Amino acid sequence: MSAAPGRVRRIALLTSGGDCSGLNAIIRAVVLRASQLGWEVTGVSYGTQGLLGEHTQTRRLRPEDVDTVMMRQSGTILGTTNKGDPFAYPMPDGSVKDRSWEIIENFRKTGCDSLIGIGGDGSLPILLRLTEQGGIPLICVPKTIDNDVPLTETAVGFDTAVEVATEALDRLQPTAASHNRIMVLEVMGRGAGHIALAAGIASGVDVILLPEIPYDIEIVANRLRSVQTPAHRFGIVVVSEAARPKGGTVRTQVMQDGQVRLGGVGAAVGAQIAELCQAETRVTVLGHVQRGGQPSAWDRLTAAAFGARAVDLLNAGQSGRMVTWSQRGVTDVLIADVIARGSHSVEMDDSLVRVARGLGICLGDQPA
Ligand code: F6P
């Protein structure tokens, strides 16, 4: 889809899906770049939910609203949600309802003529379908700590999450060494092991367990036994939340509100290691800590570049595209192509998989 280039615009801007560090830096870049072109930006609160009901939640975002503090501030000033698909919206009576036209009609009432959506792989199909239905030009910006959005080398938020996980592993190492313990750290990532793989290598752990490589606990235990020497009587394991044993399934937890989330594999792996290695073992679940904290310089940089490019794409009359990072620069691809690829998980010939194996890190499937 393309739109008329060059005319004065009013852009609606929203963040959708789970938050991560760097969202505010994207928002700031969109507002500043739009203002350079003399355009207006309207922020929509809580993803598409801000356009539901009689009292929509929108506000004008001016350059004076987005000072440099936002480069350092995690979360999103617009709020976000990873619930409430507008095409199957959960109603209080337990039914689901298609509320897509309500959102489109409320979007029109804002006076905006295009949308920039900041989201991950869950939000992209919804935003594309919604905007195609409403004839609204759309540009998306990828964000997620999981780094599982295809066709981009990085999504905003991933780098900070890796920093947080690496720091956690670094902090576990001295206490593990002091007590001759095995430490297990469970990290996020949904179906993709990018955080575990990157942080595990960066911190120099003994074992990395990924969703993409089902593990054999005996191989894990053997590796941990083999690294025990008189000078080194501890072990560090990082496990991605969707890792599963060979022939087994992922572990999930039911939240207070009935939603199902990944979780529990760290405790399971820790208990098995304690028994098989006869070692004192402790488990840490890093959780949402990975989504907060000051964004890394890299996340801020890509956020700034992505936000500016998103506005430039609208200015060029483009629509239905997602900005991406590829070969040291910003470019863009069709959102439909991103969706068609599904999810970007760790591939077996990923260079970091080879690095890990080359350094003797056990990935749970074969002796290191
Ligand atoms: O997709 C981002 C993510 O943080 C995943 O890594 C994690 O599995 C999930 O969101 C957690 O979701 P919630 O914030 O709903 O608990």
Q: Could you identify the atom of ligand 1 that is nearest to the CA of residue 145?
A: 2
Ligand 1 atom nearest to CA at 83: 15
Q: Please indicate whether residue 83, judged by its CB atom, sits closer than 6 Å to ligand 1.
A: no
Nearest to 307 by CA among 116, 167, 150: 116
Residue of 121, 123, 145 to test ligand 1 pocket, by largest number of atoms within 8 Å of CB = 145
What is the model's pTM?
Answer: 0.96
Residue 356's contacts (CB-CB under 8 Å, 6 or more residues apart) are 197, 200, 201, 208, 363
> How is residue 20 written in tokens?
């991560």
* Side chain identity at residue 298, one-letter code: W
User: Which residue among 20, 21, 144, 190 has the greatest number of ligand 1 atoms within 8 angstroms of its CB, and so is best to mutate?
Assistant: 190
State if residue 113 touches ligand 1 by the CB under 6 angstroms criterion.
no
- Our answer on whether the CB atom of 222 is closer than 6 Å to any ligand 1 atom is no
146 lines ligand 1 (CB under 6 A): yes
Task: Report yes or no: 44 and 58 within 8 Å, Cβ to Cβ.
Answer: yes
Q: How far is the CA of 190 from the centre of ligand 1 (A)?
A: 7
Distance of CA 2 to the CA centre of its chain: 28
- Check 146, 159, 206, 332 and give the catalytic one: 146
For residue 263, count other CB atoms closer than 10 A to its CB: 19
DSSP 117: E
- From 146, 195, 290, give the residue whose CB has the most ligand 1 atoms within 8 Å, as the site to mutate: 146
Expressed in angstroms and rounded, the spacing between residue 274 Cα and the centre of ligand 1 is 28
Report CA(288)–ligand 1 centroid distance (Å).
8
What tens-digit pLDDT sequence spans the chain (368 residues)? 444 555 669 999 999 999 999 999 999 999 999 999 999 999 999 999 999 998 899 999 999 999 999 999 999 999 999 999 999 999 999 999 999 999 999 999 999 999 999 999 999 999 999 999 999 999 999 999 999 999 999 999 999 999 999 999 999 999 999 999 999 999 999 999 999 999 999 999 999 999 999 999 999 999 999 999 998 899 999 999 999 999 999 999 999 988 999 999 999 999 999 999 999 999 999 999 999 999 999 999 999 999 999 999 999 999 999 999 999 999 999 999 999 999 999 999 999 999 999 999 999 999 87
Active-site residue, 257 included: no
93-to-49, 86, 88, 96, 97 alpha-carbon distances in Å: 18, 16, 13, 9, 11
How far is residue 52's CA from residue 241's CA, in Å, rounded to a whole number?
Answer: 33
Distance 21 CA to ligand 1 centre (A): 13
